[in-house]
Amino acid sequence: MARVVRNLLFRSSAVPPPFKFHDLRLPGSFSFSTSASIRSKARKNKGKNLEKSSNISVINQSKLSQVKRRTRSEKELDEEAFLKNYGNENSAHVPVLLGEVLDVFTSVTLRSFLDCTLGAAGHSSAIIRAHPEMQVYVGLDVDPIAHEKAQSQLKSIIDRDSFDTASALKVHTFLKNFKDVKSVLGEVADDLLTGGVNGILMDLGMSSMQVNDAGRGFSVLKNGPLDMRMNPKATLKAEDILNSWPTDEVGRVLREYGEESNWYSLQNRIVKARLHGGLHSTNDLVDLIQNSTSRTKGRQGWIKTATRVFQALRIAVNDELKTLEDSIRACFESLSSGGRLAVISFHSLEDRIVKQTFLDIMNCSEVDGGVVEDEEGKRLRELRKINLETVKEEAWIKQVIQGQNGTILTKRPITPSEKEETLNPRSRSAKLRVIQKA
Ligand SMILES: C[S@@+](CC[C@H](N)C(=O)[O-])C[C@H]1O[C@@H](n2cnc3c(N)ncnc32)[C@H](O)[C@@H]1O
């Protein structure tokens, strides 16, 4: 084994240069693993809903009313490794549901992998390490600070680890929005577009690096400018919405993107604040929210409202929901046959879009809270047999939904284990959904 980092390439183009490592090989080890005891426990717990021959259950109408809306992860989290890797204050971002994401791709031969949301490259680093067969890695982020951080993280794991020179991994990173995923893949290699990528990850939302930096304006608890742009070159800031958008548009943002019941009163107060110079810092906005939240609800009351208002503004500033459905479709189209797309969402609006887009892509529809019907019943039953055969050995898969174009491997989203929630409270609202292309 030798350490090899060859041909570090930077392209010159209108966008900042993509970052590439060529001819790299990483060892296939990672710190989160499902212990044998947990796996066997998971199998024993297959329970009533599961088919005899596997731990997979295909949707059954009569049982649907009894099932919960999510599956809490049963995966054992290695607390010692977790604290070693992310327990100090210098940790930029703690990757959420890391062991679960690794499980998703364990059975897939990942010759190519795309991370749509690099962040600090926590997921990517672990996935690269777990898949020494990987030949092409592509990562994107709209945020230049995240992009830079991810580049140095990828470089450091490559420098730190040993590599087998026999095989080559080409690493490409781009400062790009994931809505441009197809053009990015086309730029990397034509055959990535035609043959498809074996695995894709979208870890939506903000990174801790973004929230912790008061200057970005994402944090309810730290004073900063009302900015909230993930891409600092974008023109729209939160303060533009608050200080100059029409009243009913401000109301719509709070109502639709924040699901804030008090939107009408907040909308009026925000517009009234314009008479006194407007809102210019996150403290200005928090003060306004505190003053309009019932005192009887105390600190928790205004913090919850402020969290919803900040979420609403962030979604509007970054146009997060409008592009999500199209981006998920583009990612699915970019998968190879048998390839998997994993999406982690952090609030119900996002999760609803992920869930519905998966169903639409599969060409099946959800009825009565979960029953899936298909036009080509017979053909699908055959297809289902084949697909279930391929996934039945995977303990993490509980219920699947079969469609014409592939399989939804998470009928219910996977949420973090209690231990992960305790160690990383920011993981609390995470939901993981996975789809596999036929
Ligand atoms: C939760 S973090 C990802 C963390 C990463 N998985 C890790 O383990 O470090 C989400 C990242 O996605 C980026 N992002 C959000 N929307 C994006 C978009 N439309 N295109 C590309 N990147 C996006 C954010 O800038 C942020 O860095």
- Site to probe by mutation for ligand 1, drawn from 97, 140, 142 as the one with most ligand atoms within 8 Å of Cβ, is 142
Mean pLDDT of the chain: 81
Instruction: Look up the CATH number of the domain holding residue 244.
Output: 1.10.150.170
CA distance 113 to 431: 21
DSSP 194: H
pLDDT band at 63; cut points 50, 70, 90: very low
If you measure from the C-alpha of residue 297 to the centroid of ligand 1, how many angstroms do you get, rounded to a whole number? 33
pLDDT in tens, 32-56: 222 333 333 333 433 333 333 344 5
- Give the number of residues written for the chain: 438
150 Cα nearest atom in ligand 1:
9
Name the packing angle between helices 122-130 and 98-106 (round to 10°): 40
247 part of a folded domain: yes
Residue 193 confidence (pLDDT): 80
User: Which residues on neighbouring strands pair with residue 334, listed in sequence order?
Assistant: none
Q: Output the pLDDT for position 51.
A: 34
Q: Which residues form the domain of 253?
A: 214-320
Q: Is residue 242 part of a domain?
A: yes
For residue 262, give the nearest of 317, 301, 320 by alpha carbon: 301
DSSP 254: I
Q: Domain for residue 157, yes or no?
A: no
Task: Check pocket membership of 119 for ligand 1, CB cut-off 6 A.
Answer: yes
Pairwise pLDDT comparison (4 vs 366), residue with the higher score: 366
Tell me if 140 CB under 6 Å of ligand 1: yes
In a domain, 60, yes or no: no
Best of 31, 105, 141 to mutate for ligand 1, by most ligand atoms within 8 A of CB? 141
Which of 22-26, 109-113, 274-278, 328-332 is predicted least confidently? Answer: 22-26
User: For residue 287, is it within any domain?
Assistant: yes
The pLDDT of residue 314 is: 98
Q: Coil, strand or helix: which one is 141?
A: strand
Angle at the Cα of 201 (from 200 to 204), degrees rounded to 5? 145
Q: What is the mean pLDDT of residues 341-362?
A: 96
Is 103 contained in some domain? no
Token output for 58: 């295909």
DSSP state of 163: B
Q: How many domains does the chain have?
A: 1
DSSP secondary structure letters along 157-194:
HHHHS-B-TTS--EEEEEE--GGGHHHHHHHH-HHHHH
Nearest CA to ligand 1 atom 8: 122
Structure tokens at 49: 């809903």
Ligand 1 contacts CB of residue 177 (under 6 A): yes
Judge whether residue 305 has pLDDT over 60. Answer: yes
121 in contact with ligand 1, CB cutoff 6 A: yes
286 found inside a domain? yes
Q: What is the pLDDT of residues 197-239, one digit of tens each?
A: 999 999 998 999 999 999 999 999 999 999 999 999 999 999 9
Pick 107 or 370 by higher pLDDT.
107
Q: CA-CA distance, 244 to 249, in Å (whole number)? A: 10
Task: Identify whether 420 is part of a domain.
Answer: no
Q: Is 399 left (phi over 0), alpha (psi -120 to 50) or beta?
A: beta
